[in-house]
Chains A and B, each alone.
Chain A
Amino acid sequence: MNKTEASVTIALAAIPNSGKTTLFNRLTGSGQATGNWPGVSIEQKSGSFVLGEYSINLIDLPGAYALSPVTEEERVVRNYFLQSPPDIILNILDARNLYRGLGLTLQMALSGLPMVVAVNMIDEARRQGISFDLKVLSQHMGVPVTELSARTGEGIPDLKQNLYKVIKYPEKTRNPHISCPPLLEKAFSEITEAINQSGIDTRLDHTFLAMRLMEEDDPEQRANDDKVAVVTRQWYRRLKQSLRTSIPVACANCRFNAARGLAMEVLHDQPAFEDQLTKQLDRIFLHRFFGLPIFFLLMFLLFQGVYGLGAPLQELLSTGFDRVGTWLASQALVISWPVWLQSFLFDGLWQGISVVTSFFPIIALFFFFMSLIEDSGYMARAAFLMDRLMHWLGLDGKAFITILLGYGCNVPAVQQPGPDSWDIC
């Protein structure tokens, strides 16, 4: 990294539901800009904040489970990493379940880019009686690890300090080693050799590039060097024949074997008591017979709350606007104005503002209640309850949330960036 350059790009990458958006908001505050990733309707969010003498451009990548893409979101993340590698990766793990996110973390640790890991939701994990030794994690991966809670803000200064250190004193860390079946290892090393010889200019680790190639459906076309393409083709055919699973599954197997061992070493105490409260609540809210009636009751209450409280406010606002409008229109000064101007001001402008403003209470209340439901974790449960119905419509359970949003206002429903922004639990 060039030290004289004051602007640093950090990419925030994590699996869905790890509190990515919360951390993003926590770090950037109001300095955000949204757009779309080129060619797809997936929201691209970036924000900025200042860290010592550096100005940081933080890019919020869509939630992805791996860099070998299955979903559109993962394709966006893969392309981003390969085409415009960030200066630093900021990865998030869910403290309540390290294993789940470690697959992606290990994959990114192999990229050769500097990385900082944030173990999020530490407060929740503590409450569940989980404790761990994050030094072990840090040593194994060769990257700094910070425990934090994006929700409460705990540990954020530590994270900033770690990021600062990585920017200020970049040092080449060794990549973690993930052991794979011998045949895969051999494939990777030969392709890496070919990439080395191709003289490619990249900040990405060559073994990482070899892995990315082999985990694609069309590795040959992706190789931008003839020799690499030849070696890749040979190995791709050979592996397809001799592996019992597809190559991406075999690779995922290697990663998660490592992740399992790592999680075991890092975890001190298995939760002494599991999250009994959540379990009990799930038993009621997802009950075979009561689950749906409870769901409909809650939705009924939501709409009652929104319209019951919102409608009188709306009434109040619109009568207020009417009165003020009539009063203004009756002023001597105003009456002396030409009729077209009066009409423009009162029938046009004033009326317009009045109509739009009177919707405000309903929309605000709707979002308030939605955020209550979301924070409680019921949203994910509702998606589970509704999945069958939505699946029948060709959507998935989470789409129901979008439909619900549409009742408040069509704009956010259409804007709805995708399932990734809804945190489970």
Chain B
Amino acid sequence: MTTTQHMPVSALQPQSECIIRSLGSDDKTAQRLAQMGILPGTHLHIIRIAPLGDTIEVTGDQGQSFALRQQEIAAMTCEPVAMPLDSELVKVGQTYRIRALTGGKTFRQRMERSGIKEKKLLQIKRTGNKPVLVCQVDLNKQVELGRGEAKKIIIERISNEQN
């Protein structure tokens, strides 16, 4: 099962990644993107969001970097690869691998104490508006994370073997 969908704004965080499946319904925008080498099948890596929001720096597979507006990305349909833990793309019951912790040093240290660090697996127990409940798979330990914390944890789908 691969999910192709519009990337919700919440999923557009630095270090997120998605594979473009279609460039959206606006032909002119699609053509513009295609001419710059952004095509269906391209992995988009979100690098950063401009301080005022809306403008997003992304890179493609070939290392070319672009600034896109939020609406241009939102119009595409994508297959999410990596997203923040608080995103609505995260499914209960699924297991994900931690790709990066985007917060500061103190935050990382605090997370590491609960075994949450890069490359570790997390199984999602609860999402929604309540704190996110995850299970650190190696330690088989449940950890409750606030929304703010979850936002700073970027997780990636593990390859499709279990889907």
Contacts and interface: CB of A to CB of B under 8 A. Distances in A.
Q: Tell me the dominant secondary structure on chain A's binding face.
A: helix
Interface stretch (A244-252, A347-355, A357-365): A244-252
A302 to B, nearest CB: 19
A99 B62 contact: yes
Interface stretch (A4-12, A369-377, A382-390): A382-390
B6 to A, nearest CB: 17
Contacts, number: 96
Contacts of A97: 62-64
Interface residues of A, number: 34
B24 to A, nearest CB: 10
B31 interface: yes
A388 B35 contact: no
11 contacts: A66-B35, A99-B64, A100-B36, A100-B64, A103-B36, A245-B40, A252-B34, A256-B37, A385-B50, A385-B52, A397-B55
- Size category, B interface: 20 to 34
A384 B54 CA distance: 10
A249 B48 contact: no
Interface of B: 22-23, 27-28, 30-32, 34-37, 39-40, 48-55, 57, 61-64, 67, 69
B137 to A, nearest CB: 32
Contact of B69 (A244, A259, A292, A391): A391
A71 B57 CA distance: 21
Interface in A245-266: 245-246, 248-249, 252-253, 256, 259-260, 263
Contacts of B64: 97, 99-100
B31 A253 contact: no
Interface in A82-112: 97, 99-100, 103
A252 B62 contact: no
Interface of A: 65-66, 68, 70-71, 97, 99-100, 103, 244-246, 248-249, 252-253, 256, 259-260, 263, 282, 286-289, 291-292, 384-385, 387-389, 391, 397
Contact of A245 (B30, B32, B49, B52): B30
B49 A288 contact: yes
Given A245-B23, A286-B50, A391-B54, A384 B67 contact: yes
Contacts of A71: 32
B46 to A, nearest CB: 13
Nearest to A287: B51
A244 B30 CA distance: 13
A391 B69 CA distance: 10
A65 B38 CA distance: 12
A252 B55 contact: no
B35 A68 contact: yes
A260 B31 contact: no
